[in-house]
């Protein structure tokens, strides 16, 4: 069995796990494609686990243990490497880092990738009113880590459709909201993201009430992710993903143009700033 290197060797536990997966697969005489078929996934997905691009998830690890005859070895490894994100969101967070494009519709909150620290703290505290300060700090820090994905000037492409209610709800107070919307405006003006706003006047539309994220990849099919307050679902069934694309397109069709949306966002900044002063 391969042994983890000490600190000087710089091998992390995750590196050990993926090396063990490759070693034991090869010892069983299986190619990536062959094992992927046995565990009902793709060769690309298994390759990304072996290369460290994707986390070994417990439900996948159970299937690997069954096919390689390793008891609960990989399941225990997967459980040991707990994600810093909520368990239901961890797979989607991993895919964000691999996506070439992210398209999102938000009806109530600014999406996590664009949240400022104070806005994220207000959202986190509101949903965890009795949590210790250290726990809130950890959750906010993990969200800020995700936001660094946008430090790359070009990848992924990000296109957000926000309901006007997102702009008007004073999360954390008017001062926090003014800062949050300035951040979105600056990202748009820097040509890093595209944002459209569905105004109240648009009425009902195809994505009303849905929190939806669609992700595209260079070498894998599109996926959809939907989320509620304490749960989320990652979907890759092609027919269902196509239906969510239609919902997103209907929301985008009901939205203002990017130019008019930016004007509305910056108007909302001024309104929140005035309210904060009074």
- Of 59, 80, 101, the one marking the end of a domain is 80
Residue 108 sits in which domain range? Answer: 90-277
Between CA 44 and CA 22 the distance in angstroms is 14
Helix (H, G, I), strand (E, B) or coil at 40: coil
Residue 202 lies in a domain: yes
Return the number of other C-beta atoms located less than 10 Å from residue 17's C-beta. Answer: 22
User: Does the bond joining 156 to the residue before it have cis omega, within 30 degrees of 0?
Assistant: yes
Residue 7 lies in a domain: no
Q: Are residues 142 and 215 in the same domain?
A: yes
- Give the CB-side neighbour count of residue 18, counting CA atoms within 13 A: 17
Q: Are residues 70 and 147 in the same domain?
A: no
Counted domains in the chain: 2
278 residues of the chain, pLDDT tens digit each:
333 344 445 556 667 778 888 889 999 999 989 998 998 888 887 888 888 767 777 788 889 999 999 888 888 877 766 566 766 777 788 889 889 999 999 999 999 999 999 999 999 999 889 989 988 898 899 889 889 999 999 899 999 999 999 999 999 999 999 999 999 999 999 999 999 999 999 999 988 888 899 999 988 899 999 987 778 888 888 999 999 999 999 999 999 999 999 999 999 999 999 999 98
What CA–CA distances, in Å, run from 218 to 54, 89, 226?
15, 22, 22
Return the number of other C-beta atoms located less than 10 Å from residue 143's C-beta. Answer: 22
Between CA 224 and CA 238 the distance in angstroms is 10
Q: Where would I find the H helices in the chain?
A: 13-27, 32-38, 43-51, 58-68, 73-80, 90-96, 117-127, 133-147, 164-168, 174-189, 238-254, 258-277
Look up the pTM and report it.
0.74
The answer to whether residues 50 and 33 touch, using CB atoms and an 8 Å cutoff, is: no
What CA–CA distances, in Å, run from 207 to 122, 243, 252?
26, 11, 9
Tell me the CATH number at 94.
3.30.870
């Amino acid at each position: 069995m391969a042994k983890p290197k000490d600190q000087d060797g710089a091998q992390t536990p995750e590196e050990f796990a993926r090396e063990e997966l490759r070693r034991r697969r090869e010892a069983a005489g299986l190619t990536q494609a062959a094992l992927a078929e046995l565990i009902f996934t793709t060769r690309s997905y298994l390759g990304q686990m072996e290369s460290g691009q994707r986390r070994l998830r417990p439900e996948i690890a159970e299937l690997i243990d069954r096919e390689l005859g390793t008891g609960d070895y990989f399941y225990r490894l997967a459980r040991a490497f707990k994600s810093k994100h909520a368990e239901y969101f961890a797979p989607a967070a991993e895919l964000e880092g691999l996506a070439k494009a992210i398209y999102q519709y938000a009806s109530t909150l600014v999406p996590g990738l664009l949240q400022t620290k104070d806005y994220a703290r207000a959202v986190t505290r509101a949903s965890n009113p009795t949590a210790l300060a250290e726990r809130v700090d950890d959750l906010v820090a993990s969200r800020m880590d995700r936001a660094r994905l946008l430090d790359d000037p070009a990848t992924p492409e990000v296109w957000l459709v926000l309901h006007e209610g997102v702009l008007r709800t004073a999360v954390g107070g008017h001062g926090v909201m003014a800062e949050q919307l300035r951040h979105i405006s600056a990202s748009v003006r820097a040509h890093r993201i595209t944002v459209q706003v569905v105004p109240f006047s648009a009425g009902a539309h195809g994505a009303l009430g849905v929190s939806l994220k669609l992700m595209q990849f260079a070498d894998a099919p599109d996926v959809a992710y939907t989320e509620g307050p304490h749960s989320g679902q990652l979907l890759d069934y092609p027919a269902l993903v196509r239906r969510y694309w239609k919902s997103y397109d209907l929301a985008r069709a009901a939205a203002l143009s990017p130019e008019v949306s930016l004007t509305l966002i910056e108007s909302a900044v001024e309104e929140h700033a005035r309210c904060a002063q009074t």
